[in-house]
Amino acid sequence: MIAVRLVGERSTLREQIFDRAPIRIGRAPENEFVLFESSVSRLHARIDQAPDGGLVLQDLGSRNGLRLGTERRESVPIAGRTRCRLGMVEIEIEALTSDDTIELPYAELRRFERRSGVAPMLLALLIGLLGFITGRVLSPALWSPWQKERLVTVAGGALAMLIVLPIASFVLLVVLRTAGRVVWLSDTMQAMAWIVWLWVLCLAIRVPAYYVLSPSDLGALSGLLVVIALVCTAVIAAGTRRPGPNLRFRAIWALAVILMVLGFVGVGTEKDRRSGKPTLDFDIQPPFFGMSGRSEDLEDYLGSLRTIGTQAANEAEQVRKRQDHE
Amino acid sequence: MERARDSVFTVEVHSGSSDARDVLGSGYLVSDTGLVVTNYHVVGSYIDDPKRYQLRVRNGQGVHAARLLRFDLINDLALLEIAPIAVRPLTLAQRDPERGSSIVSLGNPEGLGLSLIEGVFNGYAEKGFVDRQLLSMPLNSGMSGGPIMNRAGEVIGTNVSVIWRANSLSFGVPVAKVKALLAAPSVSTDAASLRADVSRQLAALEHETRARVVEKLSHGDAVATVAVGELSLRRPPALFDCWNTSHVYEDEGVTKRHYGCNLQFTPRVEKIGEVGSVELGIEELTSRGNAYGFYGALGTQAEHSHRIKAQEPNNGILSAPHCEVERIRTRYMAFKVNTCLSAYVKHPGLFNGELIATTVSRPRHGAVLTLRASGITLDSFLALTRGVLGDVRWGDGQ
């Protein structure tokens, strides 16, 4: 069986199924697949059985020719779904086999059915909200002895979340739609809900790490977590579900975002390094359930100060040598 | 005044042309052989770069080329030499005048013309690293290096500085320091020798800082303590100038109590800035409000305390700051400490150091401790850190 489709901007406009080749395509009514378009010749092209058993589309001396992409071709072998242009018209040819049907998981089907409803949006909102509250509860600042208004803090934050999540989802929706992706608000809201949980996951790693690692190791870990979270966010945003197979498009989109983010981070870090800007952090976390974090003995710290002092002196000596040279 | 008129000079540092004057100060003749006393800071740019600048002095009789003989940057004095001229030098007084006795100062304010200013001698400043005469008289810039004289017309000191915004409080260098400079050996005036001499004097200054400040702050158990809110720390030696302030931030529900100390009259070296300074600050923050207000105030406090960060990197004078952040515990407390060190390019072994320690180890109490020192050796800075940080504690000993 052979399917021949007339393809429009976003969807198939007409499909005809044939038992066997040859199939003639053109403007004249005696063709098997008629394309009534002025740029198509009366007898434009024909699908033939190739000697190797496959199919091939042949140009029959048409005025505007046969094109694969922008390239003009005398004949085009058919492999999988093959799209080509006859004049101004785009058609898709596919040899159909009996094992082409894929099994659709029930969950996918449900998702497909429900995605435009209000219920999945509410569910996404709930997931996001739960994530936010979990994150707040995980943060030591909430449990610090200085915090007196725990409930107000959590409730206020949750209320803000109820507003922020839909707005962020809408922004993502606009971005994806602009990029030509067919997604719905419920899709982006779900993506946003997972992004909230990503933040929770980072906190769940970072908070205990604060009490175990030294500040410099913690700084490295935090940087790493930020990069990983950004990459994951990009992947989630780019991978937001779209019906139909388009893995390559998604992959390229995600890769572009990741490269951009890494580029920004890299340029910023390099700029700071070159300008000699010291890395300072004043991250002060309160004791969390009695833990106040790993600490070093004062004498050990003085030892590491001696090391950086020596480094500074070496650097100064190099500058001095350079100045004397000039 | 008429008698002294020609013995007082305008001192100019210029870069070749006869009109351009890059720095302007005053000076006075102290010997028949043509020795002229002025301030180090007047001729500082020449000492820093003798190839680029030249020295000359000017009095009612004309302009004379001058040569640098030696300088004392700690007391802010320099000795120049000109070809002998037929002018009677000023006599140096044998003793200080009585407190409250009237004095006069001569100089050339802003290069406008020789001026005489009357004032009162008030003895010596109680605080500070070097001896400074307290004078009630409105000195102006350009009068630096001019003589301060008693009623008999004898030199008792050299003009050195004024307090900004204070109307008529000025300072003088006692004449004994001039006598010491006159007795000291001369230096050669090539760039390398001058730099070596600056290094030598900075090392001497560091030695003195170590003996008078570092040892006192770092050795043994604290005898006297000072309380800042509920914090207690070792009382700094008497030569420090210390002050208390407190402030309530109603919106954040945060109360700040600050105790700061520094050394007055620390020398300023051309291009490097203040050297031999030691600055100590402790700030206690108490919170009545929510955690975020408190953290905000504490974080801002710590962030604002960092000054070395603002220094221009790779300026050819100091190395880039090298910093180390760590959470540390002392005998009494736990801190998060951030220390940055910059090494002097031209004077090996000397550093600027800055330490900011923050603690939140106690409910509703936080503290930010700052320690800054300039022109100090690594050993001295570490000893200071050990002494100051190791001794801070909550008042009830917990």
Summarize pLDDT for B162-182 with one digit per residue, the tens.
Answer: 665 556 788 899 999 999 999
Q: What is the residue-averaged pLDDT of chain A?
A: 80
Is residue A257 classed as helix, strand or coil in its secondary structure? helix
Contact between residue B54 and residue B23 where contact means Cβ atoms under 8 Å apart: no
Would you state the pLDDT for residue B207? 93
Q: What is the residue-averaged pLDDT of chain B?
A: 85
Residue A229: pLDDT band with limits 50, 70, 90: confident
Mean pLDDT of B304-316: 66
C-alpha to C-alpha distance for B254 and B286, rounded to whole angstroms: 6
Residue of A nearest to B254 (CA): A146
Buried-exposed string A49-62: b where 16+ CB fall within 10 A, e elsewhere: eeeeeebbbbbeeb
- Per the model's pLDDT, the better-predicted residue between B214 and B112 turns out to be B214
Q: How many CB atoms lie within 10 A of CB A172?
A: 21
Contacts of A325 in chain B (CB under 8 A): none
C-alpha to C-alpha distance for B48 and A253, rounded to whole angstroms: 59
Would you state the pLDDT for residue A99? 67
pLDDT for residue B201 is more than 90 = yes
- Which residues 302-341 on chain B approach chain A with CB closer than 8 angstroms? 302-303, 306, 308-309, 313-314, 316, 318-330, 334, 336-341
Would you state the pLDDT for residue A282? 41
Q: Nearest by CB to A305, from B299, B318, B324: name it.
A: B324
Q: Residue B89 corresponds to which amino acid?
A: P
Would you state the pLDDT for residue A291? 65
CA dihedral angle for residue B217, residue B220, residue B221, residue B223, rounded to 10 degrees: -60
User: What DSSP element (H or E) covers A9?
Assistant: none
Architecture (CATH level 2) of domain B5-183: Beta Barrel (2.40)
Q: Nearest by CB to B382, from A149, A285, A305: name it.
A: A305
The vertex-B277 CA angle with B274 and B282, nearest 5°, equals 125
Helices vs strands, H then E, count in chain A: 8, 12
- Which residues 204-243 on chain A approach chain B with CB closer than 8 angstroms? 214-216, 219
Would you state the pLDDT for residue A11? 78
Q: Nearest by CB to B358, from A284, A294, A316: name it.
A: A284
Q: Nearest by CB to A295, from B291, B327, B358: name it.
A: B327
Q: How many CB atoms lie within 10 A of CB B9?
A: 30
pLDDT for residue B378 is more than 90 = yes
Q: Sort B204 into a burial class: Cβ within 10 Å, 0-12 / 13-18 / 19+.
A: middle
- Which residues 289-308 on chain A approach chain B with CB closer than 8 angstroms? 292-302, 304-308
Cβ distance A316 to B344 less than 8 Å, yes or no, reads yes
pLDDT digits (tens, 9 = 90+) for A296-318: 889 999 999 999 999 999 999 99
Give this complex's ipTM: 0.86
pLDDT digits (tens, 9 = 90+) for A230-252: 888 877 777 776 544 456 666 76
> What 8-state DSSP symbol labels residue A149?
-
Is residue A232 classed as helix, strand or coil in its secondary structure? helix
Q: What are phi and psi of B287, to 5 degrees?
A: -115, 135
Residue B363 near chain A (CB below 8 Å): yes
| d(CA B88, nearest CA chain A) in Å | 44
Domains B5-183 and B199-394 are alike in CATH topology: no
Highest mean pLDDT pick, A107-111, B220-224, B281-285: B281-285
Residue keyed to tokens 């922008």: A70
Q: What are phi and psi of B353, to 5 degrees?
A: -130, 150
Residue A146 near chain B (CB below 8 Å): yes
Cβ distance B292 to A141 less than 8 Å, yes or no, reads yes
- Per the model's pLDDT, the better-predicted residue between A294 and B130 turns out to be B130
Residue B383 near chain A (CB below 8 Å): no
Residue B397: pLDDT band with limits 50, 70, 90: very low
Residue B396 near chain A (CB below 8 Å): no
pLDDT for residue B318 is more than 50 = yes
Residue B333: pLDDT band with limits 50, 70, 90: confident
How many A×B Cβ pairs under 8 Å? Answer: 164
C-alpha to C-alpha distance for B80 and B37, rounded to whole angstroms: 6
Residue of B nearest to A211 (CA): B327
> For B199-394, CATH number?
2.60.120.1690
Mean pLDDT of A127-137: 91
pLDDT for residue B312 is more than 70 = no
Would you state the pLDDT for residue A245? 43
Residue B121 near chain A (CB below 8 Å): no
| d(CA A166, nearest CA chain B) in Å | 26
Cβ distance B337 to A301 less than 8 Å, yes or no, reads yes
Cβ distance A219 to B325 less than 8 Å, yes or no, reads yes
Would you state the pLDDT for residue A280? 37
- Pick from A292-301, B44-53, B238-247: least confident: A292-301
DSSP string, A98-131: GGG--PPPHHHHHHHHHTTSSHHHHHHHHHHHHH
Residue A199: pLDDT band with limits 50, 70, 90: confident
Q: Sort A11 into a burial class: Cβ within 10 Å, 0-12 / 13-18 / 19+.
A: exposed
Two tokens at A59? Answer: 């140009």
E strands along B289-350, which residues? 322-329, 334-343
Contact between residue B205 and residue B349 where contact means Cβ atoms under 8 Å apart: no
Residue keyed to tokens 């050195």: B160
pLDDT digits (tens, 9 = 90+) for A157-173: 899 889 988 988 888 88
Domain boundaries, chain B: 5-183, 199-394
- Per the model's pLDDT, the better-predicted residue between A252 and A38 turns out to be A38
Which among A305, A306, A311 is the top mutation candidate for probing chain B, defined by the most B β-carbons within 10 Å of its own β-carbon?
A: A305
Q: Residue B257 corresponds to which amino acid?
A: R
Would you state the pLDDT for residue A146? 59
Domains, in order of start, for chain A: 2-100 (2.60.200.20), 106-274 (no CATH)
Which among B286, B341, B377 is the top mutation candidate for probing chain A, defined by the most A β-carbons within 10 Å of its own β-carbon?
A: B341
